């Protein structure tokens, strides 16, 4: 019999139950017991949903209040000294670790997002390193890394795997516990700042193995039949050097689980959604062993209905080679990156719903697939065949004008009319900005009033006219505010935006939106990504009315504000039938028209934000060039339709450009702004060593806390920037947008920023 499996399931609960209770707990409105109670119910609801869908192998141990990597650290007793000294006790497993982390800002969530979607397998073994080439970890999930140092000692502080396994068992549900393998765990955690330069957390492996043994033995004793050990690190380039480590670890663990003679694993899971081509080779390798194979055919990363007929054909190959008992059909990764259920969506049309599949539906898909392979094609399977055919038909008849426009993109459309020095001279005249010009990244505080007006407008409680009046009043206020603090290059403040991606998606053809399609980004932060369903185009201008209104309120130059094509795409669910390159270029053409319209409306500077460009990097270095080529081309396409005197800005939320510097330069933005003060100013060295030639605004203060930076502190920052970058290329701005801040601290901070810039003008005249 072919069985079905799911590797992991969303933890956020139907109706965002976890977010609500966790935030209430933080605010003192819920007790720890209430929090645990809700968590217990959510776990039960997940197991029962997966079971009801007919899935044979149900995951446990993959639940978390905040983040699963963080939980591993807590479970292994790795709690950095500074938390312990602040009242965190190792002996209170019921005190939610997440809460402690939240209140100590020091734990970083800055791991590149692409790492985060590392869920896999029983053991994902890539037999040929090139097999994994096309797999990429492009998810928006952040994992939380805890500091490890040479003296870090492990102990089984909380056996989450055993307790969840038993909790499910008590409900009559047999589950398969899921945990990161030790190599992936140690590869993902952070090395503490004070540890010696040559130290790598992986050196702690020997002392971690006994903890894994303890966990596995306890599970065995409790009756667990299988354990899912995720070692996604195997698909990274660097894992090629880890062969011996894997042998060592899995041989050491083998007495604890039932291992095979030839391979120290019992079954191998493959992500066949990302790389179906690897199947043949893996089948050939497994055939002479007793190992089973788990076919990850139902995508855990996208929201598209699986083509069950095609998956069945693929699985039949495996059945023919290994026999049905050695084959399991499953999801390609945990379903953590998908929304929970399509059934709660009331605004999507029947046609749109027929294209999609969220976590609950994906469980039904793997079950239907296993049933079909066992000779029982369900009605769901038949319906699926019809829906897939209809979707293919829709894809063929999408917007041909847009596709033709992409096909007709010329080299000239990818470049500004003149090189930077010439543009710079034209912009100097046009904008007339002082040296060390001051500006902000775009958003101003999104106050309760703004959100209330938006929600009232959404519910039809206020008219379009009233809503627009309210937004205009906000923009006027932003302009007056900027006059008052004395900034040079203004912004309108983005009050009309719910979200920097959704706002554009809602105005473009080709996107649809869910009402409740929340996906966890980290902790209690969830996002609701737009879905690209067809060719993208811009029916009418999107931001011109607001930017033009803002410009009419001041004689200072106004900076238009757009989200870039790569960021819109990376923070959405892309369509699966057309490459990301094509989708990105369609977006770029729509934005290009917007940029031209802004310029025609008298806007002299236009910022196109690309904070997601770096995190979209593919997993394997070999694929970087291709990605960077189309990503940079998309940016250039969107920004190069204007005359030389228009100043094009771009913003990135980080400054760690070491490995992609040539691409940053090739964007050829007139001004870039980066987050430099939160990180280390040292990161600017790369700009110096590569000789960055355009203007640059390394953020002078961190906007993630209400703390007001002193004038002297900002002067000091500027002084250290002048040491690495030419003074006449420097722009003075905060690290990022100010939408999460209050007006009071914003005013004080920006006043200090302006004073420091004035000082710099005199000092470095």
Q: Which residue numbers are catalytic?
A: 704
- Size of the residue set binding Zn ion (CB under 5 A): 2
User: Considering CB distances under 5 to 8 angstroms, the limit depending on partner class, which of ligand MET, Zn ion, none binds residue 500?
Assistant: ligand MET
The answer to the question of residue 445 lying near ligand MET (CB under 6 A) is no
Is 653 marked as binding a ligand?
yes
Among 50, 561, 732, 736, binds Zn ion (CB under 5 A): 736
Stretch that binds Zn ion, among 57-65, 535-543, 580-588, 653-661 (CB under 5 A): 653-661
Residue 442 CB, shortest distance to ligand MET, in Å, is: 3
Closer by beta carbon to ligand MET, 306 or else 650: 650
Distance of CA 228 to the CA centre of its chain: 24
Name every residue whose Cβ is closer than 8 Å to that of residue 128 and which is 6 or more positions away in sequence: 278, 281
Among 73, 299, 443, 752, binds ligand MET (CB under 6 A): 443
The answer to the question of residue 561 lying near ligand MET (CB under 6 A) is yes
The answer to the question of residue 737 lying near ligand MET (CB under 6 A) is yes
User: Torsion angle of alpha carbons 315, 321, 325, 329, nearest 10°?
Assistant: -20
User: Considering CB distances under 5 to 8 angstroms, the limit depending on partner class, which of ligand MET, Zn ion, none binds residue 232?
Assistant: none
Residue 695 CB, shortest distance to Zn ion, in Å, is: 17
DSSP state of 145: B
Closer by beta carbon to ligand MET, 282 or else 441: 441
The answer to the question of residue 653 lying near ligand MET (CB under 6 A) is yes
- Position of minimal CB gap to ligand MET: 737
The answer to the question of residue 578 lying near Zn ion (CB under 5 A) is no
The answer to the question of residue 219 lying near ligand MET (CB under 6 A) is no
Structure tokens at 96: 């939610």
DSSP assignment of 433-470: PPSS-BB--SB----HHHHHHHHHHHTTSS-HHHHHHH
Closer by beta carbon to ligand MET, 270 or else 612: 612
Q: How far apart, in whole angstroms, are the C-alpha atoms of residue 274 and residue 279? A: 11
Residue 696 CB, shortest distance to ligand MET, in Å, is: 16
DSSP state of 5: E
Closer by beta carbon to Zn ion, 516 or else 731: 731
* Residue 650: other Cβ atoms inside 10 A: 25
Is 118 marked as binding a ligand?
no
The answer to the question of residue 731 lying near ligand MET (CB under 6 A) is no
Q: How far apart, in whole angstroms, are the C-alpha atoms of residue 98 and residue 66? A: 5
Among 739, 741, 754, 757, binds ligand MET (CB under 6 A): 739
Q: Is 730 helix (H, G, I), strand (E, B) or coil?
A: strand
Stretch that binds ligand MET, among 35-43, 342-350, 423-431, 438-446 (CB under 6 A): 438-446
Name every residue whose Cβ is closer than 8 Å to that of residue 134 and which is 6 or more positions away in sequence: 274, 275, 623
Q: What are the angstrom distances between the C-alpha of 25 and each of 22, 28, 65, 216, 433?
A: 5, 5, 12, 33, 48
Stretch that binds Zn ion, among 69-77, 180-188, 290-298, 734-742 (CB under 5 A): 734-742
User: Considering CB distances under 5 to 8 angstroms, the limit depending on partner class, which of Zn ion, ligand MET, none binds residue 550?
Assistant: none
The answer to the question of residue 561 lying near Zn ion (CB under 5 A) is no
Closer by beta carbon to ligand MET, 80 or else 611: 611
Structure tokens at 176: 């398969």
Q: How far apart, in whole angstroms, are the C-alpha atoms of residue 490 and residue 746? A: 15
Please answer whether residues 665 and 682 qualify as being in contact, where contact means their C-beta atoms are separated by less than 8 angstroms.
no
User: Considering CB distances under 5 to 8 angstroms, the limit depending on partner class, which of ligand MET, Zn ion, none binds residue 561?
Assistant: ligand MET
Please answer whether residues 314 and 486 qualify as being in contact, where contact means their C-beta atoms are separated by less than 8 angstroms.
no
User: Considering CB distances under 5 to 8 angstroms, the limit depending on partner class, which of Zn ion, ligand MET, none binds residue 613?
Assistant: none
Among 167, 609, 615, 670, binds ligand MET (CB under 6 A): 609
User: Considering CB distances under 5 to 8 angstroms, the limit depending on partner class, which of Zn ion, ligand MET, none binds residue 272?
Assistant: none
x/- letters, 482..501, toward ligand MET (CB under 6 A): ------------------x-
**Residues facing 519 on adjacent strands:** 527
Is 609 marked as binding a ligand?
yes
Among 236, 578, 736, 757, binds ligand MET (CB under 6 A): 736
Q: Is 599 helix (H, G, I), strand (E, B) or coil?
A: helix
The answer to the question of residue 148 lying near ligand MET (CB under 6 A) is no
Structure tokens at 62: 């993959």
The answer to the question of residue 750 lying near ligand MET (CB under 6 A) is no
Q: What are the angstrom distances between the C-alpha of 188 and each of 109, 152, 181, 201, 680?
A: 12, 15, 11, 9, 21
DSSP assignment of 281-332: HHHHHHTTSS-EEEEEEE-SS--BPP-HHHHHHHHHHHHHHH-GGGEEEEES
Name every residue whose Cβ is closer than 8 Å to that of residue 36 and which is 6 or more positions away in sequence: 94, 96
**Residues facing 232 on adjacent strands:** none
The answer to the question of residue 653 lying near Zn ion (CB under 5 A) is yes
Residue 451 CB, shortest distance to ligand MET, in Å, is: 15
DSSP assignment of 260-278: -SSSS-SEEEEETTT-GGG
Among 611, 641, 699, 709, binds ligand MET (CB under 6 A): 611
Name every residue whose Cβ is closer than 8 Å to that of residue 199 and which is 6 or more positions away in sequence: 149, 150, 191
Q: How far apart, in whole angstroms, are the C-alpha atoms of residue 168 and residue 174? A: 7
Residue 443 CB, shortest distance to ligand MET, in Å, is: 3
* Residue 642: other Cβ atoms inside 10 A: 21
Is 546 marked as binding a ligand?
no
Residue 344 φ then ψ, to 5°:
-85, -5
Q: Which residues bind Zn ion (CB under 5 A)?
A: 653, 736
Annotated binding site for 5-methyltetrahydropteroyltri-L-glutamate: 19, 140, 571
Annotated binding site for Zn(2+): 651, 653, 675, 736
Q: Which residues bind ligand MET (CB under 6 A)?
A: 441-443, 500, 561, 609, 611, 651, 653, 736-737, 739
Annotated binding site: 19, 140, 441-443, 494, 571, 609, 651, 653, 675, 736
Annotated binding site for L-homocysteine: 441-443, 609
Annotated binding site for L-methionine: 441-443, 494, 609
């Amino acid at each position: 019999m072919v069985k079905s499996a799911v590797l992991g399931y969303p933890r956020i609960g139907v109706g965002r139950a976890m977010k609500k209770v966790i935030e209430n707990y933080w605010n003192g409105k819920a007790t720890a017991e209430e929090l645990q109670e809700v968590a217990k119910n959510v776990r039960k609801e997940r197991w029962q949903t997966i079971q009801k869908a007919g899935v044979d192998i149900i995951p446990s141990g993959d639940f978390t209040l905040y983040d699963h990597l963080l939980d591993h650290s807590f479970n292994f007793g790795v709690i950095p000294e500074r938390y312990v000294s602040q009242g965190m006790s190792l002996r209170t497993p019921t005190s939610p670790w997440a809460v402690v982390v939240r209140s100590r800002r020091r734990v970083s969530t800055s791991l590149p997002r692409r790492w985060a979607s590392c869920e896999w397998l029983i053991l994902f073994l890539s037999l040929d390193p090139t097999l994994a080439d096309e797999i990429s970890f492009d998810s928006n999930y952040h994992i939380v890394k805890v500091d490890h140092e040479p003296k870090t000692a492990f102990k089984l502080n909380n056996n989450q795997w055993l307790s969840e396994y038993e909790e499910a068992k008590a409900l009559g549900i047999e589950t398969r516990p899921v945990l990161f393998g030790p190599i992936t765990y140690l590869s993902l955690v952070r090395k503490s700042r004070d540890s010696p330069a040559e130290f790598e957390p992986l050196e702690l492996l020997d002392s971690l193995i006994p903890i894994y043994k303890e966990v596995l033995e306890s599970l065995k004793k409790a009756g667990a039949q299988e354990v899912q050990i995720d070692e996604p690190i195997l698909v990274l380039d660097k894992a090629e050097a880890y062969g011996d480590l894997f042998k060592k670890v899995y041989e050491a663990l083998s007495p604890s689980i039932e291992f095979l003679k030839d391979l120290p694993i019992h079954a191998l899971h493959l992500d066949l959604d990302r790389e179906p081509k690897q199947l043949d080779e893996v089948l050939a390798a497994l055939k002479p062993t007793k190992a089973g194979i788990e076919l990850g055919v139902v995508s855990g990363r996208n929201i598209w209905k699986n083509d069950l007929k095609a998956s069945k054909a693929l699985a039949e190959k495996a059945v023919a080679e290994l026999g049905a008992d050695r084959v399991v059909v499953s999801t390609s990764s945990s379903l953590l990156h998908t929304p929970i259920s399509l059934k709660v969506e009331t605004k999507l049309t029947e046609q749109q719903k027929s294209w999609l599949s969220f976590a609950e539906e994906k469980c039904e898909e793997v079950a239907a697939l296993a049933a079909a392979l066992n000779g029982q094609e369900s009605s769901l399977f038949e319906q699926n065949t019809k829906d897939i055919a209809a979707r293919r038909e829709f894809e063929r008849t999408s917007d041909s004008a847009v596709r033709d426009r992409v096909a007709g993109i010329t080299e000239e459309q990818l470049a500004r009319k003149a090189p930077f020095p010439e543009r710079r001279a034209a912009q100097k005249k046009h904008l007339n900005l002082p040296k060390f010009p001051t500006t902000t990244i775009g958003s101003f505080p999104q106050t309760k009033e703004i959100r209330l007006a938006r929600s009232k407008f959404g519910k039809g409680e206020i008219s379009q006219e009233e809503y627009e009046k309210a937004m205009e009043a906000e923009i006027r206020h932003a302009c007056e505010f900027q006059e008052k603090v004395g900034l040079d290059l203004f912004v309108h403040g983005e009050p009309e935006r719910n979200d920097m991606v959704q706002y554009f998606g809602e105005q473009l053809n080709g996107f649809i939106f869910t009402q409740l399609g929340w996906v966890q980004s980290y902790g209690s932060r969830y996002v609701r990504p737009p879905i690209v369903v067809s060719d993208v185009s811009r029916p009418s201008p999107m931001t011109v009315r607001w930017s033009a209104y803002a410009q009419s309120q001041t004689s200072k130059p106004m900076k238009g504000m757009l989200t870039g094509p790569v960021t819109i795409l990376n923070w959405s669910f892309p369509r699966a039938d057309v490459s990301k390159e094509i989708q990105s270029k369609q977006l770029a053409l729509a934005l290009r028209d917007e940029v031209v319209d802004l310029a025609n409306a008298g806007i002299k500077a236009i910022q196109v934000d690309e904070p997601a460009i770096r995190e979209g990097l593919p997993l394997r270095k070999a694929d970087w060039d291709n990605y960077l080529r189309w990503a940079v081309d998309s940016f250039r396409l969107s920004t190069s339709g204007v005359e030389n005197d228009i100043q094009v800005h771009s913003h990135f939320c980080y400054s760690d450009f070491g490995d992609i510097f040539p691409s940053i330069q090739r964007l050829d933005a007139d001004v870039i702004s980066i987050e430099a003060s939160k990180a280390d100013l040292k990161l600017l060295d790369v700009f110096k060593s590569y000789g960055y030639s355009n203007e640059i605004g390394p953020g002078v203060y961190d906007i993630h806390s209400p703390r007001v930076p002193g004038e002297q502190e900002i002067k000091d920052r500027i002084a250290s920037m002048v040491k690495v970058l030419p003074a006449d290329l420097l722009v003075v701005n905060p690290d990022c947008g100010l939408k999460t801040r209050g007006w009071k601290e914003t005013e004080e901070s920006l006043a200090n920023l302006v004073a420091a810039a004035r000082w710099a003008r005199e000092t470095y005249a």
